[in-house]
Chains A and B, each alone.
Chain A
Amino acid sequence: MNAPAHHLPAVRTACPYCGVGCGVLAKPDGRGGAAIAGDPEHPANFGRLCSKGSALGETLGLDSRLLHPMLRQIDGRLARTSWERAIGLVADGFARTIREHGPDAVAFYLSGQLLTEDYYVANKLMNGFLGSANVDTNSRLCMASSVAGQRRAFGSDTVPGVYADLDRADLIVLVGSNAAWCHPVLYQRMVANQRARGAKLVVIDPRRTATAEDADLFLAVAPGMDTALFCGLLVHLADKLALDYEYIEAHTSGFSEALIRAREIAPDLAATAKAAGLAEADVGRFFELFRTTPNVVTAFSQGVNQSAQGTDKVSAIINCHLVTGRIGRPGMGPFSLTGQPNAMGGREVGGLANQLAAHMNFTPDEIDRVGRFWRASNMAPREGLKAVQMFEAIERGEIKALWVMATNPAVSLPRARAVREALGKLDLFVVSDNVLSNDTINAGAQILLPAAAWGEKDGTVTNSERRISRQRPFLTLPGEARPDWWIVAQVAHRLGFGDQFGYVSAADVFREHAALSAFENDGTRDFDIGALAQLTDAEFNALAPVQWPARTDAARGDTRFFAQGGFFTADRKARLIAPAPPAPQAALSAQYPFRLNSGRVRDQWHTMTRSGLSPRLANHVPEPFVEVHPLDAAAAGLADGGFARLRTPYGACVLKVVISEGQRRGSLFVPIHWSDETASSARIGELVTPANDPHSGQPEAKATPAAAEPVAYRYRGFLLAREHIAPPAGTWWSRVRLTSGTGLLMATDEPPSAWRECGHAMFGAAEIADYMDEPRGICRVAAFVDGRLSGCLFIGPADAGPQWDTVKALFEAEALGDMQRRAVLSGKSTDGLADPGPTVCACFGVGINVIRAAIASGQAANVDEIGTALRAGTNCGSCLPELKRIVSHGRIA
Chain B
Amino acid sequence: MSEPLVIVGNGMAAMRLVENLTHRALGRYAIAVIGEEPRLPYNRVLLSSVLAQEVSRGEIELRPAQWWSDRGVTLLYGRTATAIDPAIRRVRLANGATLPFAKLVLATGSRPIRLNVPGMELPGVMTFRDLGDVAAIGAAAANGAKAVVIGGGLLGLEAAYGLAKAGSQVSVVHLMNRLMERQLDARASAMLKHVVETRGIAVHLNAETVGILGSTCARAVELKDGRQIDADLVVVAAGIRANVDLARTADLDIDRGIVVDDHLQSSKPNIYAIGECIEHRGQCYGLVEPAYEQARALAAHLAGDSASYTGSVLATNLKVSGVNVFSAGDFLGAADTEQLVLSDPGLGTYKKLVIKGGRLVGAVLFGDTADGLWYLDLIRAGDSIEAIREDLVFGRALAERSVIKVLAA
Cβ proximity bits B340-380 to A, threshold 8 Å, 1 near / 0 not: 11111111010000010000000000001111111000000
Q: Are B289 and A876 in contact (CB under 8 A)?
A: yes
Interface residues of A in 764-790 (CB under 8 A from B): 767-776, 778, 782, 784
Identify the closest chain A residue to B326 (Cβ).
A842
Q: In the complex, how many angstroms separate the beta carbon of B277 from the nearest chain A beta carbon?
A: 19
Q: Is B299 an interface residue (CB 8 A)?
A: no
Query: What are 27 A-B contacts defined by CB distance under 8 Å?
Result: A768-B346, A769-B346, A771-B340, A771-B343, A771-B393, A772-B341, A773-B340, A784-B346, A821-B344, A821-B347, A822-B347, A822-B368, A825-B342, A825-B394, A830-B398, A839-B368, A842-B369, A842-B372, A843-B373, A845-B370, A845-B371, A875-B288, A877-B62, A878-B46, A878-B49, A880-B43, A881-B54
B370's partner among A770, A828, A839 (CB-CB below 8 A) is A839
Closest to A871 in B: B373
User: In the complex, which residue of chain A has the Cβ closest to the Cβ of B397?
Assistant: A833
Bound complex: CA of A772 vs CA of B354, how far in Å? Answer: 12
| A74 interfacial contact with B, CB 8 Å | no
Selecting from B125-133, B230-238, B317-325, the interface stretch reads B317-325
B319 touches A842 (CB 8 A): yes
| B80 CB–A CB distance under 8 Å | no
| A876 lies within 8 A of B43 (CB) | yes
- Given known contacts A881-B49, A881-B54, A842 and B340 CB-to-CB distance under 8 angstroms: no
**A residues near B349, Cβ cutoff 8 Å:** 822
**Is A828 touching B391 in the complex (CB atoms < 8 A)?**
yes
> Which of B292, B318, B355, B398 makes the CB contact (< 8 A) with A823?
B398
A877 touches B46 (CB 8 A): yes
Contact at A877–B345, with CB atoms within 8 Å?
no
Given contacts A830-B398, A881-B49, contact A845 B373 (CB under 8 A): yes
Q: Which residues of A (814-854) have their CB < 8 Å from a CB of B?
A: 818, 821-823, 825-826, 828, 830, 832-834, 836, 839, 842-845, 847
Task: Give the docked Cα–Cα distance between A884 and B59 (Å).
Answer: 10
Q: Is B253 an interface residue (CB 8 A)?
A: no
Q: How far is the CB of B137 from chain A (nearest CB, A)?
A: 19
Give the complex CA separation of A845 and B344 in angstroms: 20
Which residues from chain B contact A782 at a C-beta distance below 8 Å? Answer: 344
Other CB < 8 Å A-B pairs besides A771-B393, A845-B370, 8 of them?
Answer: A769-B342, A769-B346, A770-B341, A772-B339, A839-B370, A842-B369, A877-B45, A881-B59
> Which residue from chain A places its CB closest to the CB of B392 in the assembled complex?
A773
Q: In the bound complex, how far is the Cα of B293 from the Cα of A263, in angstroms? A: 97
For the complex, what is the distance from the CA of A881 to the CA of B318, rounded to whole Å? 15
Which B residues fall within an 8 A CB radius of A? 43, 45-46, 49, 54-55, 59, 62, 288-289, 292, 317-319, 324, 326, 338-347, 349, 355, 368-374, 389-391, 393-395, 397-398, 401-402
Interface positions, chain A 438-462, Cβ under 8 Å from B, are none
Q: Which 6 A-B pairs have the closest CB atoms?
A: A767-B346, A769-B344, A826-B394, A775-B338, A881-B55, A878-B45
Chain A min CB distance to B360 (Å): 13
Closest to B316 in A: A842
Within the assembled complex, what's the spacing in Å between the Cα atoms of A818 and B348?
Answer: 12
Taking the closest CB of chain A, its distance from the CB of B336, in whole angstroms, is: 11
The reply to whether B346 and A843 contact each other, CB–CB distance below 8 Å, is: no
Taken together as a complex, chains A and B put the C-alpha atoms of A828 and B392 apart, in Å, by: 12
Question: In whole angstroms, how far apart are the Cα atoms of A881 and B45 in the complex?
Answer: 12
- Complex formed: what's the CA distance from A774 to B59 in Å? 47
A875 proximity list for chain B (CB < 8 A): 288-289, 292
A to B contact number (C-beta, < 8 Å): 116
Closest to B400 in A: A833
User: A773 contacts B45, CB within 8 Å?
Assistant: no
B341: nearest residue on chain A (CB-CB)? A772
B347 near A842 (CB under 8 angstroms)? no
Bound together, the chains give a CA A735 to CA B209 distance in angstroms of 59
Chain A residues near B341: list those with CB within 8 A: 770-773
Q: How far does the Cβ of B185 sit from chain A's closest Cβ, in whole Å?
A: 14
Give the distance to chain B from A764, nearest Cβ to Cβ, in Å: 14
Interface pair B398/A833, CB less than 8 Å apart: yes
Contact among B292, B324, B338, B345 with A839 in the assembled complex (CB-CB below 8 Å): B324
Residues in A with CB closer than 8 Å to B372 are 842, 845
* B339 touching A774, Cβ below 8 Å: yes
Q: Which residue of B lies closest to A784 (CB)?
A: B346
Contact A769 B373 (CB under 8 A): no
With a cutoff of 8 Å between Cβ atoms, the chain A residues found around residue B318 in the complex are 842, 876, 878
**Nearest Cβ on chain B to A774's Cβ, whole angstroms:** 7
- Determine the chain B residues whose CB is within 8 A of the CB of A834 once the complex forms: 397
Which residues from 265 to 312 on chain A have a C-beta closer than 8 Å to any C-beta of chain B?
none
Cβ–Cβ < 8 Å partners of B371 in chain A:
845
Chain B positions within 8 Å of A876 at CB level: 43, 45, 288-289, 317-318
Assuming A774-B339, A839-B370, A845-B374, is B389 touching A769 (CB within 8 A)? no
Contact (A844, B345) CB under 8 Å given A876-B318, A878-B319, A881-B55:
no
Q: Which of A847-893 contact B (CB under 8 A)?
A: 847, 875-878, 880-881, 884
In the assembled complex, the Cα of A113 lies from the Cα of B393 at a distance in Å of 53
- Residues on A with C-beta less than 8 A from B289 are 843, 875-876
Most chain A C-beta atoms within 10 Å of own C-beta, residue among B344, B347, B371, B372: B344
Please tell me which one of the listed residues B43, B45, B292, B398 contacts residue A826 in the complex, with CB atoms under 8 A apart.
B398
Please tell me if the beta carbons of A776 and B389 are within 8 angstroms of each other in the complex: yes
Q: How far is the CA of A316 from the CA of B13 in the complex (A)?
A: 99
The winner among A771, A782, A830, A845 for most chain B CB atoms within 10 A is A845
Whether B43 lies near A878 (C-beta < 8 A) is: yes
Chain B residue, CB-CB nearest to A775: B338
Q: How far is the CA of A312 from the CA of B340 in the complex (A)?
A: 64
Chain A residue nearest to B288 in the complex (CB): A876
Assuming the A-B contacts A775-B338, A776-B389, A877-B43, are A839 and B369 also in contact, with contact meaning beta carbons closer than 8 angstroms in the complex?
A: yes
The smallest C-beta distance from A878 to any residue of chain B, in angstroms, reads 4
Asked if B340 and A847 make an inter-chain contact with CB atoms under 8 angstroms apart, the answer reads no
Q: Do residues A833 and B401 form an inter-chain contact, with CB atoms below 8 A?
A: yes
A881-B46 CB under 8 A given contacts A825-B394, A826-B394: yes
Chain A residues near B346 (CB, 8 Å)? 767-769, 784
CB distance from A331 to the nearest CB of B (A): 52
Are A844 and B373 touching (Cβ within 8 A)? yes
| Assembly CA distance A775 to B292 (angstroms) | 37
Residues of B within 8 Å of A844, CB to CB, are 373
Which of chain A's residues has its CB closest to B355's CB? Answer: A775
A463 to B403 alpha-carbon distance, docked (Å): 56
Contact A845 B369 (CB under 8 A): yes
**What are the residues of chain A within 8 A of B49 when measuring CB–CB?**
878, 881
Among B62, B324, B370, B401, chain A packs the most CB atoms within 10 A around the CB of: B370
Which of A822, A877, A884 is close to B394, meaning CB atoms less than 8 Å apart? A822
Q: Which residues of A contact B368 (CB under 8 A)?
A: 822, 839
Question: What is the distance, in angstroms, from A790's C-beta to the closest C-beta of chain B?
Answer: 11
Least CB separation from B346: chain A residue? A767
B345 contacts A768, C-beta separation under 8 Å: yes
Q: List, in ascending order, chain A residues with CB within 8 A of B340's CB.
A: 771-773
Measured CA separation A545–B158 after assembly (Å): 83
Min CB gap B44→A, angstroms:
9
Cα distance A839–B325 in the bound complex, in angstroms: 11
Closest to B43 in A: A877
Q: Which residues of B contact A842 (CB under 8 A)?
A: 317-319, 324, 326, 369, 372
Q: Which of B54, B317, B326, B369 has the largest count of A CB atoms less than 10 A from its CB?
A: B317
What are the residues of chain B within 8 A of A833 when measuring CB–CB? 397-398, 401
CB-CB under 8 A from B401, the residues of chain A are 832-833
Shortest distance in angstroms between A835's beta carbon and chain B's nearest beta carbon? Answer: 9
Which residues of A sit under 8 angstroms from B369, Cβ to Cβ?
A: 839, 842, 845
**Chain B residues closer than 8 Å to A830, beta-carbon distance:** 398
CB contacts (< 8 Å) of A769 on chain B: these are 342-347
Alpha-carbon gap, A826 to B397, bound state (A): 12
Residues of B contacting A774 in the complex (Cβ-Cβ under 8 angstroms)? 338-339
Give the residues from 746 to 773 in chain A that come closer than 8 angstroms, CB to CB, to chain B. 767-773
A828→B394 contact, CB < 8 A: yes
Please, which residues of chain B bring their CB within 8 A of the CB of A825? 342, 394
Nearest A residue to B48 via CB reads A878
